[in-house]
Chains A and B, each alone.
Chain A
Amino acid sequence: MGANELTQALREALGDGIADVVVFRDEVTLNVPRERVIEVLTHLRDVQQFNMLTDETCVDYYPREPRFGILYQLYSIPRNIRVRVKVMLSEYDASLPTATGLYRNANWLEREIYDLFGIRFEGHPDLRRILLPPDWQGHPLRKEVPVTVEENAFTFNRERVDAEKPYATE
């Protein structure tokens, strides 16, 4: 089944739930408005047999606005096709409904996105940091966070390195 038939069937079933379809390198990306994302994912899982959430991640398109794109990479084992669902989010309203009710592995994936990008998932059962320490400030995979080098602390330079740490007050 080709990409055209799939998008045709989805357009008929969901109407303006599919805002736009992009085909790049034979991969289908469905652009979906935030309000409709759970409806679209439910349809894809239950009707179109996309039973596995392969991956869920975020891309920061700074300086575009809306800048965050949440990508759901879905795979259908019975039909052997992949599809990607993309939701764009504004920096000033970076939240969307959780997919944990549909795909159970969305739990940790959404925690990772929250941890690294600061996007809130409404209704998530356990939204806290996963990779970084709980007292970490900021969300490092956002583009405004620079890549920095932290000097190794030895006895001779420990005080100087320590003074540059984020927790140093002055």
Chain B
Amino acid sequence: MAIAEPPIRVEDSPLNQVKTEDVQLDITFEQLKRLVSPRALTGETMLLNMGPQHPSTHGVLRLLLELDGETIVSCIPDIGYLHTGIEKTAEGKTYLKVIPLTDRTDYLAPMSNNLAYCGAVEKLVGIDVPIRAQYLRVILMELTRMNSHLVWLGTHALDIGAMSVFLYCMREREMILDIYEAVSGARMMSSYIRPGGLWRDVPSHFPQLVQRVLDVFPGRLLEYEKLLKENPLWKERTVGIGKISAQDAIAWGMTGPCLRGSGVNYDVRKAQPYSCYDHFEFSVPLGSAGDVYDRYRCRMEEFHQSLKIIRQAMAKLPPGPVMTDDRKVAPPPKHEIAYSMESLIHHFKLWTEGFKAPEGEVYFAVESGKGEYGVLLSGDGSPKPRRVHFRAPSFHNLQPLGEISKGALLADIVAIIGSIDIVLGDVDR
């Protein structure tokens, strides 16, 4: 007969073995004193930890809050919980093999990251992209922007208490993920955009899938507007909260809807057009107050602009190849390998050694859903990059959080984090 093991006594449990001197602060007292106000040291204000495991921090963001009652005196973001060393890993891989890593930085907008990286490689090596590939890239970029904004809208509304919006947004996002799956085979980590073009042409039912988005979306956007735009509870929580002026937003390097919400007209698509964005007509929505509500309005208007761009691009979508015919960077088609010795050599060289990039540095930026997503690429003449640096929009937009939330109420910090739209994979890389 088996004898049950005696239960662990409370005094023997591992938690009770921890001594107070084992508990380490991750910041020294001297460093802490510089970050909080002198009132925290006398106990007049309270220090409160928020996160890293908190549903409203959109991932693993930790905040150290100094509170005077319910008012925030200072807010110190602590990041790095999702640091995966992507930039170091990229240095050990060939140019092509870095693409899957870029998917995982801002994992809600994989195509934007692919394009930023591939654009940098194309600039460094000097590759021309066929026109059809550029148009398809634009369509996919705008779908990605809508994908990113849908997750933002859903979670932002959920944080503030409007739960139904989240469910609707996830439903609509499914249509976009279906398109990702149809073109690349993966729903999230697409790795579809390659240096020189696209992995392969889109499937034959791609126009129908995009048309479904174009047909369904305008009506759904009206539903979201009905739920939130004039909702007094929503306006109470967002109007006049988390203000940042235009000068401050520029000085902090904010980009995307966070910058445009403050009224600064800077959009990489307009300022320095890439991938044929200058072929399309669209406008850049601007806010004026720079508060949570204006950032919300900017993103909602961007949905309409994205639909407008997709509609134009689908109407004008040219036929032709989707990959450059430069065999030094693009793999030859399978049927060519069967009869051409040179194609076979190119195939082997590409998949074993990879293509070489010249010595030098380039910077290439795209407008992702969150802001300017840039890649600083340094080549050293070998098939592997010397350095890949991702200019992550979330990293720059999160930095002024302490400044924005000063004087706000504790409940407002949730609205402010939601409105600056961060993805921690992008912040920590």
Chain A: which residue is nearest B87 at the CB level?
A141
Interface string of A119-130 (1 = CB under 8 A from B): 000000110111
Interface string of A14-34 (1 = CB under 8 A from B): 000000000011010100000
Cβ–Cβ contact A24 & B362, under 8 A: yes
Residues of A within 8 A of B181 (CB): none
Also in contact, A126 and B34, with CB within 8 A (given A55-B389, A105-B252, A105-B253) = yes
Binds A, one of B78-86, B139-147, B221-229: B78-86
Is A98 an interface residue, CB under 8 A from the partner? no
Residues of A within 8 A of B91 (CB): 147
Residues of B within 8 A of A73 (CB): 363, 374, 376, 391
Chain A: which residue is nearest B83 at the CB level?
A131
Is B355 an interface residue, CB under 8 A from the partner? no
Residues of A within 8 A of B361 (CB): 24, 27, 29, 59, 71, 84
A145 to B361, CA, bound (A): 22
Is B288 an interface residue, CB under 8 A from the partner? no
Chain B, 62-101, CB within 8 A of any chain A CB:
79-80, 83, 85, 87-89, 91-92
Q: How large is the interface on B (under 10, 10 to 19, 20 to 34, 35 or more residues)?
A: 35 or more
Partner of B85, one of A57, A77, A107, A140: A140
B408 to chain A, nearest CB (A): 19
Cβ–Cβ contact A57 & B389, under 8 A: yes
A74 to chain B, nearest CB (A): 10
A55 to B80, CA, bound (A): 18
Cβ–Cβ contact B79 & A104, under 8 A: no
Residues of B within 8 A of A141 (CB): 87-88
Is B396 an interface residue, CB under 8 A from the partner? yes
Is A8 an interface residue, CB under 8 A from the partner? no
Residues of A within 8 A of B400 (CB): 104-105
A82 to B386, CA, bound (A): 22
Cβ–Cβ contact B251 & A54, under 8 A: no
Cβ–Cβ contact A103 & B251, under 8 A: yes
Also in contact, A147 and B89, with CB within 8 A (given A103-B253, A105-B396, A125-B34) = yes
Partner of B80, one of A25, A29, A132, A147: A132
Chain B, 227-255, CB within 8 A of any chain A CB:
248, 250-253
Residues of B within 8 A of A54 (CB): 253, 363, 365, 372, 374, 391
Partner of A130, one of B79, B123, B362: B79
A24 to B91, CA, bound (A): 21
A143 to chain B, nearest CB (A): 8
A25 to B358, CA, bound (A): 11
Residues of A within 8 A of B391 (CB): 54-55, 73
Also in contact, A25 and B372, with CB within 8 A (given A77-B250, A104-B251) = no
B248 to chain A, nearest CB (A): 8
Binds A, one of B48-56, B163-171, B264-272, B337-345: B264-272
Cβ–Cβ contact B363 & A57, under 8 A: no
A118 to chain B, nearest CB (A): 14
Cβ–Cβ contact B250 & A55, under 8 A: no
B110 to chain A, nearest CB (A): 21
A67 to B425, CA, bound (A): 29
Cβ–Cβ contact B360 & A25, under 8 A: yes
Cβ–Cβ contact A126 & B372, under 8 A: no
Is A134 an interface residue, CB under 8 A from the partner? yes
14 A–B contacts from the bound complex (CB under 8 Å): A25-B123, A51-B250, A54-B374, A55-B363, A55-B391, A60-B387, A82-B363, A103-B251, A105-B252, A105-B400, A131-B80, A132-B83, A133-B80, A140-B85
Which residues of B are at the interface with A, using a C-beta cutoff of 8 A? 24, 26-27, 31, 34-35, 79-80, 83, 85, 87-89, 91-92, 123-124, 126, 248, 250-253, 264, 266, 271-272, 360-363, 365, 372, 374, 376, 378, 386-387, 389, 391, 395-396, 399-400, 428-429
Which residues of A are at the interface with B, using a C-beta cutoff of 8 A? 24-25, 27, 29, 51-55, 57, 59-61, 71, 73, 77, 80, 82, 84, 103-105, 107-108, 116, 125-126, 128-135, 140-141, 145, 147
| The 7 nearest A-B residue pairs measured at CB | A105-B253, A131-B80, A55-B391, A131-B83, A57-B389, A24-B360, A59-B387
